[in-house]
Structure 1
Amino acid sequence: MAYDEAQRSFIQYHVENRKGERRGRLERGHGHAETLFLRNVWWPLRGSFQHLHPEYEVIDWRGRSYFADFAWLLPGKIKLIIEIKGFASHVRDMDRQKYSNELNRETFMFAMGYHVISFAYDDVEKNPDLCMTMLRMVLSRFEPGQARISRTLLAEKEIIRLAIRQAEPIRPKDVERHFGMDHKTAVHHLRNLCARGWLQPFYRGTGKRIVRYELARDFLDYLD
């Protein structure tokens, strides 16, 4: 099934199975940012909308209804909230009370068993590959037997975590010691991460020998 048809069926199914404000919120609140996330990130990564719920209602710590952009719900397992945040509404136009409410809501949701992740609208629009990589890393934690993720990708995800934790550039010997792998395999993973734009190599002198690797500037900007 093509994306456009699948997306229409996905929204129509949820509209038909809701009543009152839950239905009204979906009809009013599912807008451009949410549709862009489905088109640019979720669909290319997953190929279906199974277990995904748009404009998902959650009761906050005040007993008020809050509608998250999406919830990914695996029966009896995980409750993942996904938010798409634009700079204007979530930074520029947010006052202190709204800011406090947002933090309190996310903390309360965590206490209620939800995991909350957020993507910047600008990244969803202009850098969807990074969003897909991040989302793949998150989802792989919760469905290890089903995730579309290879052992190579799992190893590279762990190398990125190691690089983030270190206070200095990562070296092949760091990877070898941490993961108990041989030098050739460590170098292979590091070069793959360079090719994908996550790491950047540094050479010794004017030669071609790579001696260390650092997180790429684009990745650091995303973390900031």
Structure 2
Amino acid sequence: MELSFEIEHEKWIKKHLSNRHGERKDALRRGHGYGNQMFAEKIWWTLMGHFTGLHPEYEVKDWRGRSYFVDFIWILGGLRFVFEIMDYGSHGKDRSKYRLDLNRGLFLQSQECYVISISLDEMKENPSFVLAMVRSILAPYLAAIQDGRGTVYRRFGKIERQLMRLAIRHNRIICPPQAAKELEIHKQTVIKYCRKLVEQGKFRAIPTGTAGKIYRYEYIGSIQSPDLL
């Protein structure tokens, strides 16, 4: 496995370097050091056996529009998982940097990213624990992947997935006129797919008043469902 990792890791990094220029390329050269390489080998490669969809030293914007680089981001369908390897020496002693790191993590989560912070010390001393936790977090999404190329089997169409994700962002509730406005599609199209999702057991129609008219729908699935991919 060691030899396979070394070969695939080198190919993966070279591919990203060849596709980057300027600060993005420099950030990868600087940032993909000891801790990040340990994560790539001991956690990611052990779990996945490939680097499909995983991007090292990935540029994102914070709430001020300023660029910075997260250690890793895994992009799967419409989902984004950020992995940050936390070293006490660089994150724990500088209070301003520590605060900024936490604020950036909060912001990324507000932008529908899953942020997973991993202690470098824990990864060195107890990699099996870190691997088990990462496997558990990603399990619903790994179940949706058909092969090593990251192909995802989708039970639901694009509009259905958009409606389910939109409902989650609005405390699980969908109001067709508002959803139509946000997704830039016709209200009747939203209603059609909401009814379809009711039949498929993902939505529940919410009756209103004595007549029981339906103006809203509730998402009743898991927020970690692979059906959202």
Letter in 2 for 1:2: S
Alignment of structure 1 residues 87-126 onto 2, 5 Å: 87-91=88-92, 93-95=93-95, 97-126=96-125
Q: Partner letter of residue 9 of structure 1?
A: K
In structure 2, distance between residues paired with 1:3 and 1:144: 23
Q: Helix, strand or coil for the counterpart of 1:80?
A: strand
| 1:86 aligned residue | 87
Find the aligned partners of 2:43 and 2:80 in 1 and give their Cα distance.
19
1:53 is matched with which residue?
Answer: 55
Can you list the C-alpha shifts for 1:61-115, whole angstroms capped at 9, x where unaligned?
A: 1111110000000122x10000111111111x222x2232122211111111211
Task: Find out whether 1:16 has 2:15 as its counterpart.
Answer: no
1:140 matched to 2:168? The reply is no
TM-score, normalising length: structure 1:
0.61
| Partners of 1:139 and 1:147 within 8 A in 2 | no
Do 1:10 and 1:49's aligned partners in 2 also have CA atoms closer than 8 Å?
A: yes
**Which residue does 2:155 correspond to in 1?**
none
2:189 match: none
Q: Deviation string for 1:4-36 (max 9, x for gaps)?
A: 000000100000011111111001111011001
CA distance in 2, matches of 1:111, 1:23: 27
- Distance in 1 separating the partners of 2:46 and 2:103: 33
8 Å contact 1:72–1:79 — kept in the other structure? yes
Moved over 3 A (4+): none
Structure with more relative contact order (C-alpha pairs < 8 Å, separation 6 or more): 2
Displacement after TM superposition at 1:141 (Å): 2.9
Q: Percent identity?
A: 39
State the secondary structure of the residue aligned to 1:141: helix
Q: In structure 2, how many angstroms separate the alpha carbons of the residues matched to 1:139 and 1:107?
A: 20
Conserved in 2, the CA contact under 8 Å of 1:41 and 1:131?
yes
Task: Tell me how far apart the structure 1 counterparts of residues 39 and 47 of structure 2 sit (CA, whole Å).
Answer: 11
Does the CA-based 8 Å contact 1:40-1:125 persist in structure 2?
no
Q: TM-score, normalised by structure 2?
A: 0.60
When residues 143 and 3 of structure 1 are mapped into structure 2, their CA distance, relative to the original with a 3 A threshold, is closer
Of 37, 40, 43, 2:39 maps to 37
Distance 1:80 1:102 in 2: 16
Q: How many residues align?
A: 145
Which residue, out of 72, 75, 80, partners 1:73? 75
Distance 2:27 2:137 in 1: 27
